[in-house]
Amino acid sequence: MTNVEFNRVDTLVEHPVLVDVQGMRQVYHKGDNPDLVVLDDVSVTIREGEIVGLLGRSGSGKSTLLRIISGLLQASAGKVQWCGKPVTGPCEGLSMVFQSFALFPWLTVLENVEIGLEAQGVAAAERRQRALQAIDLIGLDGFENAYPKELSGGMRQRVGFARALVVHPRLMLMDEPFSALDVLTAETLRTDIIDLWIEGRLPAKSILMVTHNIEEAVLMCDRIMIFSSNPGRVAAEIKVDLMHPRNRLDPEFRALVDDIYARMTQRAPAGKVEKRVADGFPGTGIGMALPRISTNLLSGLMEALAAEPYNGEADLPDIAGELQMEVDELFPIAETLQLLRFAELEAGDVRLTEVGKHFVQSDVDMRKRLFAEHLVSYVPLAALIKRVLDERPTHMAPYTRFCEELEDYLSEDMAKETMSAVISWGRYAELFSYDGHARAFSLENPS
Amino acid sequence: MTLHHPALEAGRKASRIPNIWDAAAFGLLFATFVLFIRGGHETFAPIDALSSTPISLDPANLPEYALRTVLRMLAAIIASLLFTFVYGTLAAKSRRAGLVLIPILDILQSVPVLGFLSFTVTGFMALFPGRVIGVEFASIFAIFTSQAWNMTFSFYQSLKTVPADLEEASRSFRLTGWQRFWRLEVPFSMPGLVWNTMMSMSGGWFFVVASEAISVGNTTITLPGIGSYTALAIQDKNFGAIGWAVGVMLAVILIYDQLLFRPLVAWSDKFRVELSAGGEAPRSWLLDLVRRARMFRRIFLPITHVVSALPRQRMAFPVAPPRAAMSVWRSVWVDRLWVVAVAAAALYALWLIWSFVATELTGPEILNVVWLGFLTMVRVVVLMALATVVWVPIGVWIGLRPKVAERVQPLAQFLAAFPANIIFPFAVVLIVHFKADPNIWLSPLMVFGTQWYILFNVIAGASAFPNDMREASSIFRIGGWSWWRKVILPGIFPYYVTGAITASGGSWNASIVAEVANWGDTKLTAVGLGSYIANATTAADYPRIVLGIAVMSAYVILFNRLLWRPLYAFAGSRLRMN
Ligand SMILES: Nc1ncnc2c1ncn2[C@@H]1O[C@H](COP(=O)(O)OP(=O)(O)O)[C@@H](O)[C@H]1O
Ligand SMILES: [Mg+2]
């Protein structure tokens, strides 16, 4: 069986090209603001017979790319072809599995699976028969007449797979299909899909899957495209030649995972620290987009880093495992620490700085003082708010004063998220106070 | 390939022997058929039939009258549904159509329906000269105009809020527009639509009663029905007959609720989008019965097959329109053309109204009508405040006690459906007897039928109040006024606003029948916009009717924009529980 697998990869070059994306660009316009470039110069080719993974942080544009390939979304520029023809709308021969399952709650499992065939106008009897086959294949027999709300999450996603497979797609697109499931359920379902694939029983010719889970990508894909953020680009392409079934403990597997971690946290050449930080969060200066990370999480990660066995320095995959977090949950926390100079990120490692260690050993008041100092020094927006409040005789300023300025640089959603991040950090640091009802900042000490 | 499958096996093994549920289901079904044929039969008679068989106060006739009333109601609700599907879809799918249709709908729902009766009756009678059906249509149209708008709004709102992932799924599987409509959009909008249809029906009984006995100028047309029965009883000062009418009305609403709405609500529960199975599912004995009646279902299988196969057909256009045509159609120029056309139509309409009203109306009269509107507004505001003070505490008390709420909630909904105009005579007799001032004492009639909306919405809000918050507030010993102010009032506020909007709109409408009340030859009038419109209708004075309606619509719109909408937005943004 493993030989078959190898043949599949080796002879791939002769397989027909399904998706051909060249120099594609996706831009969102927002009022007078500078355009938001989500994808820039993206080129992707997908052939029949392979599983391709799109790996990247959340917000890097993976879902956008998937939607453009599927025809749900029109690209702003560039070539997008499906089976040699330009994509103008949802394409035939494509099907999709959704992170949220996207099942119709009012239809039974059987009816949900049939829906793709209804759209093709398949006659009732054949429709029923093919749907039942797909349901059998995916391990749902006995649940044909159940409604989605009666099923567990894993079972619901199986319905999602059956619905996508029943049309015998040439390409099955999957947008983080396992990330709404708990760890065990996700693993079972992944294994089942991979087993069907290597046995050649999966009625899909090829798969394109989006994920932010590095191990998942290495476990399933023949080829992994790593996305960088802001704007989204294909930063690297990695071929995975490991034989199926793959073993997570296999040293080769671990090496590949570590390598990808390193690529995703790659440090720019020395002397460009400022640039590197700006890479972490889109935008610079006041317009830097900040993630809404609670101060509890920040101190939690610092404490975990300072404690045994890490003693101030840890491998990202290790500490992610210990804290039971996915990469894209851990990255923003680590990067916020880096922004505040409490930690440094380098080649897949995270290391506490001296100040970071000092922070961990301090009492609450000292921690707040340190945090406030760093906030003003390294987060321009926090410094701006503080300065405006200091300068105004009333020591008050409305929320909109800052949010509107932010919206010159960021989308509305991002501006809101950035504001709420800076509000929560500022409150913790007692840098300023904020009244959510009056939507106003002030300097008065809330205590 | 042979099919061995549990889904099909289950169907195969089912017994073919009819069971007791079949007997019950068949009985109910055929009784309904017979009633329909009897009621519908007379609709096509010539109009002379109405005068040759005048309404009789003999209670034995009441079941038949009730049937006629119910059929009108049913026809109106079907018309409302059709309207909802067409209008709502158009408004949601076409940006250009939505630009015009949504403001129109907003105004339509503020127009006092009862004021228009005189227009619609003459209009429909002209359409079907000499036939009863013309008058029937006029009555049905009156009910329709009281029901359709909120249903359409609900449907439009649902179409606009279809979950993005379901929308993407149906697009990526290439469902056609027809399939998307029946498989995604209509099911998704079902819970809201069923609830709004129920609300509409509640309001509708009031209008069916008011629209069956219509006098325009010298002609009085009475359609056989509970409404005209009541009207005659009022003319004859016959208390016994009014008692009978009240009793039959209660029975009719009860039957309607049990046979139509309970099953509908229970059935539509499966369309709720929340994927968790929490909460008590609504049940209906009728739905259970039909589900258990095997033979019954088997016989209707061919019909169910056709009905369920239709939404699955592709129904796509065989050829797509050429791309060039599409790009012209989508261009900004067509947008501009559209705006110009709409503006021209609006100007023409304004000119039309002006030329109609200005023929005999003067400035002072218009000012006077605005003043009358103010008087009616004062009544509405005072009575809404009174109803709030009375029903909010009672509703909270009931809602926090699940056992009581379970009993009282259907009663409150029921009272909201009961057409208050049937019992107006009792009030008139009391006012005459005590020589009370009609300007004050007729007013309560305006909220008599509408106050229940406040009650049952507050009950619903208090029942939904989270248990843990109640516990927390008792742990922190929050009591007395501060408990009301900080805990429960914010909790029920969104529900209260929902109820109050319905109640206040209904009260404006009711003023047209409440500010003028008769008992035999005794006529009581309260000075206000409602009585102005009512009197203009009796006198067939069309310019004054139009003026009265326009001023009342303006008041309702202002009331909605300046009071209810901000409150509603406030309730949504600040006081939401989660
Ligand atoms: N309709 C839109 N308008 C503006 N910005 C958008 C829109 N859709 C997505 N974005 C932005 O595009 C970026 C990429 O989104 P997405 O493709 O969902 O990323 P991913 O799937 O990698 O998490 C995000 O920053 C998001 O805010
Ligand atoms: Mg995504």
Q: Pick the atom of ligand 1 nearest to A176's CA.
A: 21
* Rounded percentage of chain B residues whose pLDDT exceeds 70: 84
Q: Pick the atom of ligand 1 nearest to A232's CA.
A: 14
Q: How far is A27 from chain B (nearest CA, A)?
A: 20
For residue A56, give the ligand nearest its CA. Answer: 1
Q: Which protein residues are within 6 Å of ligand 1, measured from CB?
A: A 28, 36, 38, 56, 58-64, 411
pLDDT of residue B5: 44
pLDDT of residue B46: 65
Chain A and chain B share a number of CB contacts under 8 A equal to 90
Q: Does A420 touch chain B (CB under 8 A)?
A: no
For residue A232, give the ligand nearest its CA. Answer: 1
CA distances for A355 relative to A360, A370, B155, angstroms: 9, 8, 58
pLDDT of residue A32: 65
B91-105 per-position pLDDT tens digit: 998 888 888 888 888
Amino acid present at A369: R
Residue B259 pLDDT > 70, yes or no?
A: yes
Span B300-326, mean pLDDT?
72
Candidates A256, A93, A96; CA nearest to A176 is A96
* Rounded percentage of chain B residues whose pLDDT exceeds 90: 12
Are B239 and B372 within one domain?
A: no
Interchain CB distance below 8 Å, A129 and B175: no
Mean pLDDT comparison of B25-29, B275-279, B434-438, highest-scoring range = B434-438
* Rounded percentage of chain A residues whose pLDDT exceeds 70: 91
CATH number of the CATH domain containing B215: 1.10.3720.10
For residue A179, give the ligand nearest its CA. Answer: 2
pLDDT of residue B85: 94
Q: Does A63 touch chain B (CB under 8 A)?
A: no
Q: Does A121 touch chain B (CB under 8 A)?
A: yes
How many domains is chain B built from? 2
d(CA B143, CA B145): 5
pLDDT of residue B47: 64
pLDDT of residue B14: 47
* Lowest-pLDDT range of A249-263, B207-221, B376-390, B485-499: B207-221
> Is B275 inside any structural domain?
no
d(CA B19, CA B291): 12
pLDDT of residue A37: 87
What's the pLDDT band for B556 if we cut at 50, 70, 90? confident
Q: Does A435 touch chain B (CB under 8 A)?
A: no
Interchain CB distance below 8 Å, B3 and A107: no
Query: Is B25 or A410 the better-scoring residue by pLDDT?
Result: A410
Candidates A352, A346, A176; CA nearest to A263 is A346
Are B396 and B252 within one domain?
A: no
Token output for B22? 């079949």
**Using a CB-CB distance cutoff of 8 angstroms, which residues of chain A are in contact with residue B3?**
129, 132
Are B255 and B117 within one domain?
A: yes
Phi, psi of A395 (to 5 degrees): 55, 35
| The model's pTM | 0.78
Q: How far is A148 from chain B (nearest CA, A)?
A: 7
Interchain CB distance below 8 Å, A144 and B5: yes
Burial group, residue B207, by CB count within 10 angstroms (0-12, 13-18, 19+): buried
Candidates A90, A284, A434; CA nearest to B173 is A90
Residue B471 pLDDT > 80, yes or no?
A: no
Q: What length does chain B have?
A: 578
B495-525 per-position pLDDT tens digit: 888 788 888 888 888 888 888 888 878 888 8
Candidates A282, A277, A276; CA nearest to A61 is A282
Partners of B46 in the β-ladder: B131
pLDDT of residue A412: 82
Residue-wise burial string across A266-291, b where 16 or more C-beta atoms lie within 10 A, e elsewhere? beeeeeeeeebbbbbbbbeebbbbbb
B113-137 per-position pLDDT tens digit: 777 777 777 788 788 877 778 888 8
**Using a CB-CB distance cutoff of 8 angstroms, which residues of chain B are in contact with residue A124?**
309, 312
Span A285-309, mean pLDDT?
86
Candidates B500, B492, B532; CA nearest to B516 is B532
pLDDT of residue B4: 42
Single residue among B222, B251, B270 that ends a domain in this structure? B270
Interchain CB distance below 8 Å, A115 and B175: yes
Span B422-436, mean pLDDT?
83
Residue A10 pLDDT > 70, yes or no?
A: no
What's the pLDDT band for B537 if we cut at 50, 70, 90? confident
Segments of A48-162 assigned E as strands: 51-55, 77-82, 85-86, 94-97
Q: Are strands A171-175 and A94-97 parallel, antiparallel or unpaired?
A: parallel
Q: Please report the DSSP string for A296-358 in residue order.
A: HHHHHHHHHHHSTTTTTEEEHHHHHHHTT--HHHHHHHHHHHHHTTSEEEETTEEEE-HHHHH
Q: How far is B372 from chain A (nearest CA, A)?
A: 40
d(CA A208, CA A204): 11
Phi, psi of A175 (to 5 degrees): -105, 100
- Which distant-in-sequence residues (6+ apart) come within 8 Å of A26 by Cβ? A37, A38, A39, A61, A64, A65, A68, A73, A75, A76
pLDDT of residue B484: 81
Partners of A223 in the β-ladder: A52, A239
Token output for A286? 């006041």
Dihedral, A100, A106, A111, A114 alpha carbons, nearest 10: -50
**Using a CB-CB distance cutoff of 8 angstroms, which residues of chain B are in contact with residue A129?**
1, 3
Chain A 93-112, residues with CB within 8 Å of chain B CB atoms:
94-96, 98, 100-102, 104-107, 110
- DSSP H helices, B53-173, are 62-93, 95-108, 117-127, 132-160, 164-172
Phi, psi of B248 (to 5 degrees): -65, -40
Q: Does the interface predicted TM-score (ipTM) exceed 0.90?
A: no
Closest chain B residue by Cα to residue A147: B270
pLDDT of residue A104: 93
Single residue among B270, B301, B325 that ends a domain in this structure? B270
Interchain CB distance below 8 Å, A67 and B168: yes
Candidates B504, B458, B451, B418; CA nearest to B201 is B418
Burial group, residue B74, by CB count within 10 angstroms (0-12, 13-18, 19+): middle
Nearest to A98 among B3, B165, B277 (CB): B165
Single residue among B223, B240, B270 that ends a domain in this structure? B270
Report the interhelical angle of A380-391 vs A364-378 (nearest 10°): 100
Q: Pick the atom of ligand 1 nearest to A210's CA.
A: 21
Query: Is A188 or A308 the better-scoring residue by pLDDT?
Result: A188
- DSSP H helices, A173-247, are 183-198, 214-220
pLDDT of residue A9: 47
What's the pLDDT band for B268 if we cut at 50, 70, 90? confident
Report residue A52 CA to chain centroid gap.
16
> Is B351 inside any structural domain?
no
Phi, psi of B543 (to 5 degrees): -55, -40
Identify the contact set of chain B against chain A, taking CB-CB distances under 8 A: 1, 3, 5-7, 10, 163, 165-166, 168-176, 179, 183-184, 187, 190, 270-277, 309, 312-314, 574
**Using a CB-CB distance cutoff of 8 angstroms, which residues of chain B are in contact with residue A71?**
172
Residue A4 pLDDT > 70, yes or no?
A: no
Residue A447 pLDDT > 60, yes or no?
A: no
Q: Does A126 touch chain B (CB under 8 A)?
A: no
B193-238 per-position pLDDT tens digit: 888 888 888 888 888 888 887 776 667 778 888 888 888 888 888 8
Residue A275 pLDDT > 80, yes or no?
A: no
Report residue B157 CA to chain centroid gap.
17
Residue B7 pLDDT > 70, yes or no?
A: no
> Is B308 inside any structural domain?
no
d(CA A366, CA B308): 69
> Is B288 inside any structural domain?
no
- Which distant-in-sequence residues (6+ apart) come within 8 Å of A168 by Cβ? A203, A204
> Is B41 inside any structural domain?
no
> How many beta carbons lie within 10 A of that of residue A113, not counting itself?
31
Ligand 1 binding pocket mutation candidate from A27, A64, A281, A292 (most atoms within 8 A of CB): A64
What's the pLDDT band for B374 if we cut at 50, 70, 90? very high
- Smallest CA separation from ligand 1 atom 4, residue: A28
A349-378 per-position pLDDT tens digit: 889 999 999 999 988 888 999 999 999 888
Q: How far is A149 from chain B (nearest CA, A)?
A: 5
pLDDT of residue A219: 92
> Is B452 inside any structural domain?
yes
Amino acid present at A335: E
Interchain CB distance below 8 Å, A145 and B7: yes
Q: Are A343 and A334 in contact (CB under 8 A)?
A: yes
* Lowest-pLDDT range of A180-194, B46-60, B249-263, B272-286: B272-286
pLDDT of residue B87: 94
Mean pLDDT comparison of A132-141, A259-268, B308-317, highest-scoring range = A132-141
**Using a CB-CB distance cutoff of 8 angstroms, which residues of chain B are in contact with residue A149?**
274-277
Nearest to A116 among B10, B163, B173 (CB): B173
Span B544-564, mean pLDDT?
86
Q: What is the mean pLDDT of chain B?
A: 80
Interchain CB distance below 8 Å, B166 and A104: yes
Query: Is A348 or A432 the better-scoring residue by pLDDT?
Result: A432
- Which distant-in-sequence residues (6+ apart) come within 8 Å of B102 by Cβ? B91, B156
Interchain CB distance below 8 Å, A119 and B271: no
Span A191-212, mean pLDDT?
92
Residue B489 pLDDT > 50, yes or no?
A: yes
In a mutagenesis test of the A interface, which of B172, B180, B185, B314 is the best target, namely the one with the most A β-carbons within 10 Å?
B172
Q: What is the mean pLDDT of chain A?
A: 85
pLDDT of residue B295: 66
CA distances for B139 relative to A410, B85, B114, B144, B212, angstroms: 57, 22, 11, 9, 6
What's the pLDDT band for B50 if we cut at 50, 70, 90? low
Q: What domain range includes position B493?
A: 361-574
Q: Does A157 touch chain B (CB under 8 A)?
A: no
In a mutagenesis test of the A interface, which of B162, B174, B189, B574 is the best target, namely the one with the most A β-carbons within 10 Å?
B174
- Smallest CA separation from ligand 1 atom 2, residue: A28
Interchain CB distance below 8 Å, A144 and B7: yes
d(CA B106, CA B104): 5
Residue B168 pLDDT > 60, yes or no?
A: yes
Are B365 and B238 within one domain?
A: no
What's the pLDDT band for A170 if we cut at 50, 70, 90? very high
Residue ranges and CATH numbers for the domains of chain A are 17-265 (3.40.50.300), 285-442 (1.10.10)
Candidates A47, A92, A91, A45; CA nearest to A71 is A91
pLDDT of residue B31: 67
d(CA B113, CA B145): 6
Kindly give the distance from the C-alpha atom of residue A61 to the centroid of ligand 1, in angstroms, as a whole number: 6
- Which distant-in-sequence residues (6+ apart) come within 8 Å of B511 by Cβ? B112, B376, B379, B380, B446, B528, B529, B530, B531
What's the pLDDT band for B41 if we cut at 50, 70, 90? low
